[in-house]
Amino acid sequence: MKVIFKLLIANVKMTVRNKQALFWSMLFPLLFIAVFGLFNMEKGGFAKVEVLDEAKTQLSETLTQAIKNIPAFNVEIKTSTPDEIYQDVKSGQVEYGIIIPKEIENLTNPQSKIDQPISLTLYYDAKNVQNNSVVLGTLQQFVTQANLNLSQAPTLLMLNAAPVEAKKIKYIEFIATGMLGMSVMQYGIIGISIALSRQREDNILKKLLTTPLLLRDYIVAFILNYLILSVVQITILLSASHFLFNAQIYGNLFLVYGVAIFGTLIFLCLGFVVAGIAKTSQAAAGLAQLIATPMMFLSGVFFSTSLLPNVAQKIVQFLPLTPLLEALRKVSLDGQGIAAIKTQLVYLFIWLVVAFLLALATFRFTENKE
């Protein structure tokens, strides 16, 4: 343990002296947070609307199409449950949730006897005053017209509008978790691959083979160094986003750290893979960027993956950064616990095993001689 501790101190000192690596791992994500924090992304834009059509009739499709025709709304047709629609509005993921009940099919069935009006349910954020009037007006107009068309008898269809105290997630909070995942990825893949490649180029790793030092101790100290600095990195990013832009963590802070460190282990292993494949530090830097850049833009760092085409959404689910960001946001933004992220943790564990096995198969301490 004493040897590992001394090696750890030496590795920390070498990392701190590497100003370029510190910039890319610590300051670069902070610059992103600062830039995005200066913009008020809550102004304007499209309101997100979820519609659950339990009836699937011509009448319900007419209502759905009327909602889709509102220019300011981004409408998503859901196949979930009414409770999930309610939770989506309450958590701030969407502004409106509309539930068209299955009973609405009875309105066009002459054999059906209707004793009381059938309710369309609308969940909405009570604080979103400007858009609320548009949505309520559109639905009420539809209900009025439907009643006129259906019957001259007493009211058969009514609107049940239920305001919800929704949690408003700020864009800077979304970006802060994205930057956290991105910095963990870059620090692991780019930082460790370049560092190991340079040590191999300078014959440091080769010289270690001729000493009594156990390579196991050196690797353990090397990884511990990156894990410790990763914790520092996470703390700096979360603190900066909170104190500069009042970004909040709504879930368990320790779970956020745990998920982020779990992700760090995956990207550290991938860094070993890159260092094993690349022959020089320049090649390692290029290969690492080639791996990290697509994930940075496709895995949901800056925007939700739900905005991608359906095919692309299915593909990016297999990238390691995607489940990491999903888990971080479920905990930090939605306030959920470990049970809610078990699917993401399974994906991350599979990636950890795969990356570890690839690292064992590819990494070498000396240069290959051709």
Give the per-residue pLDDT at 245.
81
Residue 254: exposed, middle, or buried by beta-carbon count in 10 A (0-12, 13-18, 19+)? exposed
Stronger pLDDT, 14 or 272, i.e. the higher one? 272
Give the per-residue pLDDT at 357.
94
Report domain extents, the chain. 2-39+170-362, 47-164
Which of the four pLDDT bands, split at 50, 70 and 90, describes residue 93?
Answer: confident
Which of the four pLDDT bands, split at 50, 70 and 90, describes residue 260?
Answer: very high
Give the per-residue pLDDT at 6.
78
The packing angle between helices 171-186 and 28-38, to 10°, is 170
Residue closest to 266 by CA, chosen among 358, 176, 175, 194:
358
Share of the chain above pLDDT 90, in %: 19
Per-residue pLDDT, averaged over 323-328, amounts to 94
Distance CA 191, CA 357 (A): 20
Give the per-residue pLDDT at 350.
96
Residue 366: exposed, middle, or buried by beta-carbon count in 10 A (0-12, 13-18, 19+)? exposed
Which positions ≥6 away from 360 have C-beta within 8 Å? none
Per-residue pLDDT, averaged over 44-70, amounts to 79
Give the per-residue pLDDT at 13.
75
> Which amino acid, 264?
T
Which pLDDT tens digit goes with each residue over 204-214?
A: 777 777 777 77
Give the per-residue pLDDT at 370.
45
Per-residue pLDDT, averaged over 246-257, amounts to 90
Which of the four pLDDT bands, split at 50, 70 and 90, describes residue 27?
Answer: low
Q: Among the CATH numbers 3.40.1710.10, 3.40.50.170, 3.40.120.10, 1.10.645.10, which is that of 47-164?
A: 3.40.1710.10
Give the per-residue pLDDT at 198.
83
**86: pLDDT strictly greater than 80:** yes
Q: What is the 3-state secondary structure (H, E, C) of the chain?
A: CHHHHHHHHHHHHHHHHCHHHHHHHHHHHHHHHHHHHHCCCCCCCCEEEEEEECCCCHHHHHHHHHHHCCCCEEEEEECCCHHHHHHHHHCCCCCEEEEECHHHHHHHCCCCCCCCCEEEEEEEECCCHHHHHHHHHHHHHHHHHHHHHHCCCCCCEEEEEEEECCCCCCHHHHHHHHHHHHHHHHHHHHHHHHHHHHHHHCCHHHHHCCCCCCHHHHHHHHHHHHHHHHHHHHHHHHHHHHHHHCCCCCCCHHHHHHHHHHHHHHHHHHHHHHHHHCCCHHHHHHHHHHHHHHHHHHCCCCCCHHHCCHHHHHHHCCCCHHHHHHHHHHHHCCCCCHHHHHHHHHHHHHHHHHHHHHHHHHCCCCCCCC
**18: pLDDT strictly greater than 50:** yes
Q: DSSP label at 339?
A: G
8 A C-beta contact, residue 335 and residue 180: no
Give the per-residue pLDDT at 40.
52
**157: pLDDT strictly greater than 70:** no
Maximum mean pLDDT: which of 26-40, 48-62, 244-258, 304-318: 244-258
Q: Are strands 47-53 and 96-100 parallel, antiparallel or unpaired?
A: parallel
Q: Give the count of beta carbons closer than 10 Å to the beta carbon of residue 69.
A: 10
Q: Is this model's pTM higher than 0.85 or not? A: no
Token pair of 109, please?
Answer: 């069935």
Give the per-residue pLDDT at 353.
96
Give the per-residue pLDDT at 256.
94
Stronger pLDDT, 127 or 316, i.e. the higher one? 316
Q: Count of alpha carbons within 13 Å of 93, Cβ hemisphere only?
A: 17
